[in-house]
Copies of this chain bind each other. A is one copy, B any other.
Amino acid sequence: MDIKNYISENKERFLEELFGLLRIPSISSLTEHKPDMYKAAEYWKESLLKAGTDKAEVFETEGNPVVYGEKIINPDKPTILVYAHMDVMPVDPIEEWKSEPFEPVIRDGKIWGRGADDDKGQGFMHAKAFEYLVATNQLPCNVKFMIEGEEEIGSPSLGKWCATHKEMLKADIILVSDTSMIASDIPSITTGLRGLSYWQIEVTGPDRDLHSGLFGGAVANPINELCSLMATMIDKEGKIAVPGFYDDVLEVSDIERKKLAQAPFDEAEYKKSLNIKELKGERGFSTIERTGIRPTFDMCGIWGGYTGEGAKTVIPSKAYAKLSCRLVPNQNWEKIARLIKNHLEKIAPNYIKIKVDILHGGQGYVCPIDLPAYQAAEKAYEKVYGKMPVPYRSGGSIPIISTFEEVLGVKSILMGFGLGGDAIHSPNENYPLEQFFNGIETITHFYKYFAENPA
């Protein structure tokens, strides 16, 4: 039976199985959901065994568990290590969801729910592609699965776990579906990922909340001060105004910039889709460059003082912010994390106290397009989508990908099937059914092409 028929005959079951996983609220950044990480791990383990692995096991780490499963058909054959993550992002603002984040539904040809794309939907395609190859006796190589539960918080435990299980994880290529394509009719393969540094800062003024009338004018207000500090971080050119920040940024060649400029991009459509009048970014770079090859500084959250209904006149004691930088290949996230921490501590004025905590981070990644596995992926996309995919530098980060290269010495191929409208990390995350089924199909072809020419 060919893969199209197999999908067609089993699609209801595939979705039911995926929905079981989507219903588990495995939010890794909230400790109250720790038990859900174990539920998700058990669910993945059972799914792998049902799909045909010889064995599958839930491993403890220093943080959330990792599921590992494998099917070894012949030690002399090449081995694919599939990586996915079972944890998801928080769901707030919850009131903006049109259906419950953890009650997946099909609407308008899409799966709606937290994790529908990132990365339960995309990860689960691999279980189903593998199931088909086993069920129809076509598996051309060995397969290993490694499903982690901390990707959305920067994979703090997986690197160490990989190091202690290096032999078990031996593989020729790592296969990951946790990225997007340019559009459903413009297949693309992500060849670059940005790195990430993430901080939380606490600014303290007076040691208690003060009456803004009795003290206002005489005492520094930590919210005003936090705003003033943050306003200095980006200059008028859109550059991050921290000495040394760009030292390690690789300038991309004019030739590569020309190639990047060929990717289809409609600025009017882009602005319309976000309902904004003007874009804003670093002077001298296009939007695709700003999100692909240039670093960023974004405030992801801010809070302090009175945030309830109506008016309370207060000078608060404290104000907080969560900050992140996306980094480009060759920038070291730990170096940048320290650089920004030191900078903020240095420029903070004497009338406030500042505390800067480095929450997490990860390196960027580049995949060379002459890698045989990359070419196998190209052919697989071409077979399903009818077009050669274009290489694409993503603005997102999967910090663990560069760790895999460091620790396991294995390159990753980022076969993503997400689309720009999937609203990952946002309310109303969704994943088109077409991408889910096409993804399964593409992955089965990749196995075949890769096994024919693994290196």
**Interface of A toward B, CB cutoff 8 Å:** 28-31, 89-90, 92-93, 96, 152-154, 180, 194, 196, 198, 200, 205-221, 223-224, 226-228, 230-234, 274-282, 287, 290-291, 294-316, 319-322, 324, 326, 349-352, 359-360, 394-397, 420, 423-428
Q: Which residues of B contact A298 (CB under 8 A)?
A: 212, 216, 221, 223-224, 313, 315
Contact A208 B30 (CB under 8 A): no
Q: Which residues of B contact A315 (CB under 8 A)?
A: 298, 300
Whether A276 contacts B220 by the Cβ 8 Å rule is yes
How far apart are A300's CB and chain B's nearest CB, in angstroms? 5
Q: Which of B214, B277, B296 contacts A394 (CB 8 A)?
A: B214
Distance of A69 from chain B, by nearest CB (Å): 28
CB contact between A217 and one of B230, B294, B428 (< 8 Å): that residue: B294
**Cβ-defined contact, A326 with B224, below 8 A:** no
Asked whether, in the complex, the Cβ of B302 is within 8 Å of the Cβ of A425, the reply is no
Residue contact B216 to A154, C-beta cutoff 8 Å: no
Give the Cβ gap from A357 to chain B, nearest Cβ, in Å.
Answer: 10
Which of B211, B232, B326 has a CB less than 8 Å from the CB of A396?
B211
Contact partner, A211, options B275, B305, B425, Cβ 8 Å: B425
User: Chain B residues near A213 (CB, 8 Å)?
Assistant: 194, 196, 291, 326, 394-397
Is there an interface contact between A180 and B394, defined as CB atoms closer than 8 Å? no
Which B residues touch A227, using CB under 8 A? 226-228, 230-231, 299, 302
Residues of chain B with a CB closer than 8 A to A205's CB: 276
Q: Beyond the given A217-B326, A220-B279, A313-B324, could you list 8 further A-B residue pairs with CB under 8 A, ordered by the A residue number? A: A208-B274, A208-B423, A208-B427, A215-B291, A218-B280, A219-B276, A301-B314, A302-B307
**For the complex, what is the distance from the CA of A205 to the CA of B280, rounded to whole Å?**
11
Minimum CB–CB distance from A348 to chain B (whole Å) comes to 11
Interface of A, secondary structure class, is loop
Instruction: Please name all residues of chain B whose beta carbon is closer than 8 Å to the beta carbon of A226 when the two chains form the complex.
Output: 227, 302
In Å, the complex CA distance between A112 and B307 comes to: 24
Given contacts A426-B209, A427-B209, contact A310 B153 (CB under 8 A): yes
A207 touches B277 (CB 8 A): no
Pairs A–B under 8 Å by Cβ, sample size 5: A30-B309, A207-B276, A212-B326, A219-B281, A220-B280
- Min distance, Cβ A150 to any Cβ of chain B, angstroms: 10
A311 in complex: contacting residue of B153, B206, B217, B319, CB < 8 Å: B153
Contacting pair A306 B313 (CB below 8 A): no
Chain B nearest Cβ from A98, distance in angstroms: 12
**In the complex, A27→B207 CA distance in Å?**
24
Residue of B at shortest CB range from A321? B223
Q: Are A311 and B360 in contact (CB under 8 A)?
A: yes
CB of A383, distance to nearest CB on chain B (Å): 27
In the complex, are the beta carbons of B314 and A307 less than 8 A apart? no
**Contact between A219 and B302, CB atoms less than 8 A apart:** no
- CA–CA, A377 to B30, complex, Å? 58
Whether A216 lies near B312 (C-beta < 8 A) is no
Q: Known interface pairs A305-B300, A306-B92. Does A224 touch B230 (Cβ–Cβ under 8 Å)?
A: yes
Question: Are A302 and B300 also in contact (CB < 8 A) when A209-B93, A324-B212 are?
Answer: no
Contact A90 B218 (CB under 8 A): no
Q: How far is the CA of A85 from the CA of B153 in the complex (A)?
A: 49
Give the one of A198, A208, A320 with max B CB within 10 A. Answer: A208
Residues in B neighbouring A281, C-beta threshold 8 A: 217-219
A4 CB, min distance to chain B CBs, angstroms: 31
Contact between B326 and A322 (Cβ–Cβ < 8 Å)? Answer: no
